[in-house]
């Protein structure tokens, strides 16, 4: 049977540290204001009996993905393994997918990429501060808005403005047998990623052992990111 | 409000609707009596593609990567109304430009009725597509009443615009078609469709009720005053007085047909914004 990937987030284990958000930023080099992995927080109750809830969020790689349905060019598309991914080469930047996505996890890149990080070798204090070029050469992450992993599998590595982007479930890592960056970075092992079609996989057994919930089930999108237990 | 689609999208839907309405009214007069209404038909067929093209150009400025639109020719997504709509609009513009060229160079009599028929079918489909573009995204206020509301609004505004451009044939149109009566029937149909839309929002699900609350709290001026009162009820009342011979159509024609056109813009703009506000 073909693989179908999904993720479980155990809210009882989650400590709300945001390591997943940061790991994603660092893996995918997302620019300011663009958060492929994010979270929502809620404070509820009446003082002094107040409580707090932290829910990590990302693209749900929905089975019935409205973003894929409305995209006029198949730029937003589904792979055989269940990843919902985006091809900026086909994107016309119409933002229909953002309007159709009920989870608000697609972002529009309205800034020019900082291409001067590849060329600008002027420094503020000569001999004292890094130039942009030096910084990108030394760190081997050429410049903000550059995603080497995307470039490796045929996408546009540089985020030029005018296209949308979102979480890919780190499909570039999965292709190499690795787990998504957010899963690896989680200090509480709150994230389980794997093949939903493999009955013996950790994700499948975990889903059988708990009553999973999904975000906005009433939207009928059939998400592949499941939540178990409660944050407390 | 964080807007993903701004007024350029509303203007595309409005101008495109005006073009479709103008074209269809031209088609009706062409089939009724192309000779008698030659001037009217000619203007309709010439104005229609220009309006649709103006709307499309505005829409292109809204896209992040307008040059990639060319890729919609081969990367077709049959579940996307936008994908289908780009095809329909291109086909309509091509046919409408051909008709405009023929009319301009050889006159209305040189037109083949087959090409006018093809243009009419495409115009009808494009008129419906404008609403389906929104309802396909499936936000609460963009429900299935929208294609009807937009289509009727396009017919109303396009026809009104063409009457404004052909005031010299007003008497003739009134004598032959009982124009105020027909317009009142279409205005009533539009009011009924808008009523069904609002009623549906107010009563269906929790999220549609929220959309209704936003409509009547944040958009009450645009909705009640500019779209309903000015764009639909006022012309309905004025034309009723005309039918009752209490007013002369010639005196009220310019302001009344103008507010119908403006009301169409306000209504479409309101719907585009409301969908993004909820
Ligand atoms: S969560 Fe949003 S972006 Fe991700 S697949 Fe579902 S609808 Fe598309
Ligand atoms: S913005 Fe790009 S990915 Fe989104 S619907 Fe439009 S073309 Fe498709």
Question: Mean pLDDT score of chain B, rounded to an integer?
Answer: 96
The closest CB to that of A93, out of B64, B86, B137, belongs to B64
Residue A198 near residue A3 (C-beta atoms within 8 A):
yes
Residue A212 near residue A51 (C-beta atoms within 8 A):
no
CB contact under 8 A, A70 and B64: no
Name which residue sits closest to atom 2 of ligand 1, judged by CA: A101
CB contact under 8 A, B71 and A92: yes
What pLDDT, on the 0 to 100 scale, is given for residue A94? 97
The closest CB to that of A72, out of B5, B82, B138, belongs to B82
Please, which residues bridge with residue A226 across strands? A8
Please, which residues bridge with residue A191 across strands? A9
What pLDDT, on the 0 to 100 scale, is given for residue A149? 76
To the nearest 10 degrees (0 to 180), the angle between helices B249-277 and B179-203 is: 20
Return the ∠ at Cα B125 (arms to B119 and B130), rounded to 5°: 125
To the nearest 10 degrees (0 to 180), the angle between helices B234-243 and B179-203 is: 150
**Cα–Cα distance for residue pair B215/A209, rounded to 1 Å:** 44
Tell me the two tokens of residue A216: 């906005």
**Cα–Cα distance for residue pair B146/B267, rounded to 1 Å:** 11
Q: Which residue of chain B is at minimal alpha-carbon distance from A64?
A: B79
User: How confident is residue A141, by pLDDT bands cut at 50, 70 and 90?
Assistant: low
Higher pLDDT, B204 or B256: B256
**Cα–Cα distance for residue pair A80/A174, rounded to 1 Å:** 14
Place of tokens 């697609």: A106
Residue-wise pLDDT for A5-27, tens only, equals 999 999 999 999 999 999 999 89
What pLDDT, on the 0 to 100 scale, is given for residue B1? 61
What pLDDT, on the 0 to 100 scale, is given for residue A146? 81
**Cα–Cα distance for residue pair B30/B84, rounded to 1 Å:** 28
| A63: CB partners within 8 A, 6+ apart | A82, A221, A222, A223, A224
CB contact under 8 A, A66 and B138: yes
User: How confident is residue A137, by pLDDT bands cut at 50, 70 and 90?
Assistant: confident
Residue-wise pLDDT for B41-74, tens only, equals 999 999 999 999 999 999 999 999 999 999 998 9
CB contact under 8 A, B72 and A69: no
Distance B121 CA to ligand 1 centre (A): 36
Q: Which residue of chain B is at minimal alpha-carbon distance from A95?
A: B4
What pLDDT, on the 0 to 100 scale, is given for residue A150? 74
What pLDDT, on the 0 to 100 scale, is given for residue A220? 96
B228 pLDDT more than 90: yes
For the segment A183-211, the average pLDDT, to the nearest whole number, is 97
A-facing residues of B in 101-120 (CB < 8 A) are none
A152 pLDDT more than 90: no
Q: Among residues B153, B145, B252, B157, which one has the least CA distance to residue B203?
A: B145
What pLDDT, on the 0 to 100 scale, is given for residue A159? 83
Distance A183 CA to ligand 1 centre (A): 19
CB contact under 8 A, A161 and B64: yes
Least confident of A95-109, A147-161, B84-98, B119-133: A147-161
Interface test with A, best of B6, B70, B72, B75 (most A CBs within 10 A): B75
A67 pLDDT more than 70: yes
3-state SS string over chain B? Answer: CCCCCCHHHHHHHHHHHHHHHHHHHHHHHHHHHCCCCHHHHHHHHHHHHHHHHHHHHHHHHHCCCHHHHHHHHCCCCCCCHHHHHHHHHHHHHHHHHHHHHHHHHHCHHHCCHHHHHHHHHHHHHHHHHHHHHHHCCCCCCCCCCHHHHHHHHHHHHHHHHHHHHCHHHHHHHHHHHCHHHHHHHHHHHHHHHHHHHHHHHHHCCHHHHHHHHHHHHHCHHHHHHHHHHHHHHHHHHHHHHHHCCCCCHHHHHHHHHHHHHHHHHHHHHHHHHHHHHC
Distance A35 CA to ligand 1 centre (A): 14
CB contact under 8 A, A93 and B65: yes
As a whole-number percent, the residues of chain A with pLDDT over 70 amount to: 97
User: How confident is residue A97, by pLDDT bands cut at 50, 70 and 90?
Assistant: very high
Q: Which residue of chain B is at minimal alpha-carbon distance from A67?
A: B137
Q: Which atom of ligand 1 is nearest to the CA of A225?
A: 1
What pLDDT, on the 0 to 100 scale, is given for residue B164? 97
Task: Check CB contact of B230 with chain A, cutoff 8 Å.
Answer: no
A158 three-state secondary structure: strand
What pLDDT, on the 0 to 100 scale, is given for residue B254? 97
Which ligand ends up closest to the CA of A67?
1
Count of other CB atoms within 10 angstroms of residue B244 = 9
For the segment A94-98, the average pLDDT, to the nearest whole number, is 98
Residue-wise pLDDT for B169-198, tens only, equals 898 888 888 999 999 999 999 999 999 999
Q: Which residue of chain A is at minimal alpha-carbon distance from B139?
A: A100
CB contact under 8 A, A73 and B81: no
Q: Which atom of ligand 1 is nearest to the CA of A167?
A: 4
What pLDDT, on the 0 to 100 scale, is given for residue B110? 93
| B110: CB partners within 8 A, 6+ apart | B102, B103
What pLDDT, on the 0 to 100 scale, is given for residue A147? 81
As a whole-number percent, the residues of chain B with pLDDT over 90 amount to: 94
Task: Check CB contact of B79 with chain A, cutoff 8 Å.
Answer: yes
CB contact under 8 A, A93 and B68: yes
What pLDDT, on the 0 to 100 scale, is given for residue A142? 65
Residue A148 near residue A159 (C-beta atoms within 8 A):
no
Distance B272 CA to ligand 1 centre (A): 22
What pLDDT, on the 0 to 100 scale, is given for residue A157? 82
Residue A95 near residue A164 (C-beta atoms within 8 A):
yes
What pLDDT, on the 0 to 100 scale, is given for residue B172? 87
CB-based burial of residue A215 (10 Å sphere; 0-12 exposed, 13-18 middle, 19+ buried)?
middle
Count of other CB atoms within 10 angstroms of residue B102 = 17
User: How confident is residue B165, by pLDDT bands cut at 50, 70 and 90?
Assistant: very high
Residue among A66, A70, A74, A75 whose CB has most ligand 2 atoms within 8 A, to mutate? A75
């Amino acid at each position: 049977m073909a693989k179908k990937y999904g993720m479980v987030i155990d809210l009882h284990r989650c400590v709300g540290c945001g390591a997943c958000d940061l790991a994603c930023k660092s893996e995918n080099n997302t620019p300011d204001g663009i958060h492929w992995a994010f979270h929502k927080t809620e404070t509820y109750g009446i003082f002094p009996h107040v409580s707090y809830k932290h829910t990590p969020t990302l693209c749900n790689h929905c089975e019935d993905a409205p973003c894929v349905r409305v995209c006029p060019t198949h730029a937003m598309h589904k792979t055989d393994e269940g990843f919902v991914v985006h091809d900026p080469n086909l994107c016309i930047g119409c933002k229909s997918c953002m309007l159709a996505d009920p989870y608000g996890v697609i972002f529009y890149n309205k800034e020019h990429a900082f291409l001067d990080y590849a060329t600008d070798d002027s420094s503020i204090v000569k001999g004292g501060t890094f130039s942009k070029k030096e910084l990108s050469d030394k760190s081997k992450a050429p410049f903000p808005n550059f995603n080497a992993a995307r470039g490796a599998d045929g996408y546009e590595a540089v985020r030029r403005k005018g296209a949308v982007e979102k979480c890919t479930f780190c499909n570039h890592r999965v292709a190499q047998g690795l787990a998504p960056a957010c899963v690896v970075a989680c200090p509480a092992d709150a994230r389980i990623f794997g093949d939903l079609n493999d009955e013996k996989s950790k994700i499948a057994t975990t889903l059988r052992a708990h009553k999973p919930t999904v975000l906005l089930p009433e939207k009928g999108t059939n998400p592949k990111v499941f939540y178990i237990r409660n944050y407390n | 409000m964080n807007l993903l689609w701004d007024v350029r999208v509303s203007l595309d839907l409005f101008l495109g609707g005006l073009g479709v309405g103008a074209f269809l009214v031209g088609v009706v007069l062409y089939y009724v009596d192309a000779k008698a209404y030659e001037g009217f038909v000619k203007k309709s067929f010439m104005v229609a593609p220009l309006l649709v093209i103006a709307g499309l150009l505005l829409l292109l400025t809204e896209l992040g990567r307008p040059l990639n639109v060319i890729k919609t020719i081969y990367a077709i997504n049959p579940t996307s109304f936008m994908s289908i709509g780009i095809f329909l609009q291109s086909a309509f513009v091509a046919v409408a430009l051909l008709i405009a060229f023929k009319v301009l160079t050889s006159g209305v009599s040189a037109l083949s009725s087959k090409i006018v028929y093809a243009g009419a079918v495409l115009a009808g489909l494009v008129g419906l597509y404008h609403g389906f573009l929104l309802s396909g995204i499936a936000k609460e206020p963009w429900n299935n009443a929208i294609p009807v509301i937009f289509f009727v609004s396009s017919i109303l505004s396009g026809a009104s615009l063409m009457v404004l451009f052909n005031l010299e044939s007003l008497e003739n149109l009134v004598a032959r078609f009982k124009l105020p009566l027909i317009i009142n029937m279409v205005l009533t149909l539009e009011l009924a469709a808008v009523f069904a839309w609002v009623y549906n929002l107010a009563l269906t699900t929790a999220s549609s009720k929220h959309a209704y609350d936003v409509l009547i709290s944040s958009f009450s001026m645009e909705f009640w005053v500019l779209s309903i009162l000015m764009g639909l009820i006022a012309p309905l009342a004025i034309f009723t007085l005309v039918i009752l011979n209490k007013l002369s159509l010639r005196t009220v024609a310019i302001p009344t047909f103008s507010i119908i056109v403006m009301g169409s813009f306000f209504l479409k703009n309101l719907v585009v914004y409301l969908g993004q506000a909820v």
